[in-house]
Amino acid sequence: MNQEKSTFQHLFSLPVIVAALGYFVDIYDLQLFGIVRVQSLESLGLTTKEEISSIGTNIINFQMIGLLLGGILWGVLGDKKGRLSVLFGSIITYSLANISCGLIPHISFMDKIEAYKWLRFIAGIGLAGELGAGITLVSEVLPKHLRAIGTSLVAGIGLLGAVVATFTVKLSGDWTIAYFIGGGLGVALLLLRVGVIESGIFKEVANKKHVQRGNFLSFFTNWNRFVIYMKCIGIGLPTWFCIGILTYLSNEFGEALGITEKVDPGLAIMWAYIGISVGDFFSGFISQAMHSRKKAIAVMMAFALIGVVVLLFTPTVKSASMYYAICCWLGLGTGYWAMFVTVGAEQFGTNLRATAATTVPNMVRGTVVLMTTLYKFFKPDQGVIIAGAIVGIICFVLGFYSTLSIPETHNKDLDFLEE
């Protein structure tokens, strides 16, 4: 009985709750542009589908490049200054950027579309710090037998932010209000974070002045460390192929599949994230049951791959509701996101852990720029379906190889340093 109570207290301690709520706000703001992409660009004067597709993809790329650069910035700061400094700094950045996005229709001193691009870039920088710092903090404060379940709770709760964002847009009736609400949630979260304490493992290392912390370049100066780092990134590629291509651009794929009714990317994102939330919640329990991070991820990745094949190459998807159902399937399969970030945190020592856990997921998000570029390159000659399939094959091959060949970290002791 005492053990059960102790487990409950660990899993619902303030660091876990705040990390989960932080990731909730993070995902709300991260996916908001994808949800309001068409609506917001139309209200800013864009009229043709080609224009909305091209400029919308460009803005997504700006946000993803911001995430990539922000991942490096916050990751290094997380190891140099502490996990909490990142959680505070990142949330101030993306909250202010999102409030500013709500003011775009009133901007007169520069082109509104140009302002939209740069504000999503700044938001991307801010959003990059949330997940990695939160997962690192939770991984270090929980006992090792609860790490997978704890990080799954963070992600399972957090990923519902995309669902709430979709309903917020629908109920508010105005995309600018959804941005204001996102910024307001961030400010509220900032106040809640005041009571959270720093990781004990980090504080112990911080007192050792001779230990070099947060050196991003050290991932590239040791061959074994570099290979493991690249494999950590490879594991996450299928997740953002499913979101960044098949879900964000669901209106294009729906049309190519011959679906007569309009496929709404906002609803596609919502259903995908319902699936991801459920998948992430259960991924920790699957990992515990299989005594392996790698096996759990490989099984879920295979499930997602089957969903991709069903979507692109079978006559099953003939309606918008069926497309949304497949998006939920893809989300369930790629719901190993928290597990993948946890693996990244567990591979490296305390002096590089936040840098790894923060940069790895944002490197994956940054690869969406490469995915959309490849997709646009193949689309004119190969068509939407084959262009998407080519990108998907690359992502899943790299994903399976990385998962099956990376060192296992289940029950690994995290109190160690990188030389």
Distance in angstroms (rounded) separating the CA atoms of residues 403 and 292: 11
Residue pair 232/406 in contact by the 8 Å Cβ criterion: yes
In a domain, 332, yes or no: yes
User: What's the pLDDT score for residue 417?
Assistant: 66
Residue 410, in any domain of the structure: no
**Could you tell me the pLDDT band of residue 200, with boundaries at 50, 70 and 90?**
low
Q: What is the pLDDT of residue 137?
A: 76
Note the pLDDT of residue 210.
56
128 compared with 144, residue with greater pLDDT:
128
Predicted local confidence at residue 187, as pLDDT: 87
What pLDDT, on the 0 to 100 scale, is given for residue 414?
67
Residue 2 lies in a domain: no
User: Does pLDDT of 3 surpass 60?
Assistant: no
pLDDT greater at residue 202 or residue 218: 218
Spatial separation of the C-alpha atoms in residues 92 and 210, rounded to whole Å: 31
Give me the mean pLDDT over the 76-97 stretch. 81
pLDDT of residue 197: 55
Question: Could you give the percent of the chain with pLDDT greater than 70?
Answer: 91
Which residues make Cβ contacts (< 8 Å) with residue 286, sequence separation at least 6? Answer: 296, 299, 300
Higher pLDDT pick, 286 / 352: 286
DSSP per position, 276-331: HHHHHHHHHHHHHHHT-HHHHHHHHHHHHHHHHHHHHHSTT--SHHHHHHHHHHHH
Q: Which pLDDT value is given to residue 208?
A: 63
DSSP 8-state symbol, 1: -
* pTM recorded for the entire structure: 0.80
CB proximity list for 170: less than 8 A, separation 6 or greater: 266
Q: Average the pLDDT over 263-289 and give the result.
A: 88
* DSSP at 367: T
Q: Is 382 helix (H, G, I), strand (E, B) or coil?
A: helix
pLDDT at 1: 40
Instruction: DSSP letter for 197, please.
Output: P
Domain assignment present for residue 263? The answer is yes
Higher pLDDT: 130 or 82? It is 130
pLDDT in tens, 334-344: 999 878 888 88
What CATH number does residue 14 fall under?
1.20.1250.20
Check pLDDT > 60 for residue 348: yes
The reply to whether 1 falls in a domain is no
Q: Give the helix ranges, DSSP H, for 103-218.
A: 112-127, 130-141, 147-158, 161-172, 175-192, 200-206
Token pair, residue 324, equals 């949304």
> Is the model's pLDDT at 395 over the cut of 90?
yes
Query: Cβ distance 117 to 59 under 8 Å?
Result: yes
For the record, the structure tokens of 417 come out as 């340093």
Q: What is the pLDDT of residues 14-67, one digit of tens each?
A: 778 888 888 898 889 988 998 898 899 999 988 888 888 889 989 988 998 998
Tokens of 76: 């290094």
Residue 268 lies inside a defined structural domain of this protein: yes
Computed over its alpha carbons, how large is the radius of gyration of the chain? 20
Residue 418 has pLDDT above 70, yes or no: no
Look at residue 322 and tell me whether its pLDDT is greater than 80.
yes
Lowest mean pLDDT, pick from 80-84, 255-259, 376-380: 80-84
Range with lowest mean pLDDT among 149-153, 202-206, 325-329, 385-389 = 202-206
How much is the pLDDT for 2? 43
Neighbouring residues of 372: CB distance < 8 A, sequence distance ≥ 6:
57, 60, 61, 244, 245
pLDDT in tens, 158-179: 888 888 998 999 898 889 999 9
**363 lies in which domain range?**
8-405
Q: 156 or 223: whose pLDDT is higher? A: 223
**Residue 17 burial (CB count, 10 A):** 16
d(CA 99, CA 67): 18
Q: How far apart are CA 238 and CA 152, in angstroms?
A: 18
Considering the domain boundaries, does residue 90 fall inside one?
yes
pLDDT of amino acid 337: 86
> Domain tally for the chain?
1
Structure tokens at 71: 């991942």
Are the C-beta atoms of residues 148 and 342 closer than 8 Å to each other?
A: yes
143 in any annotated domain: yes
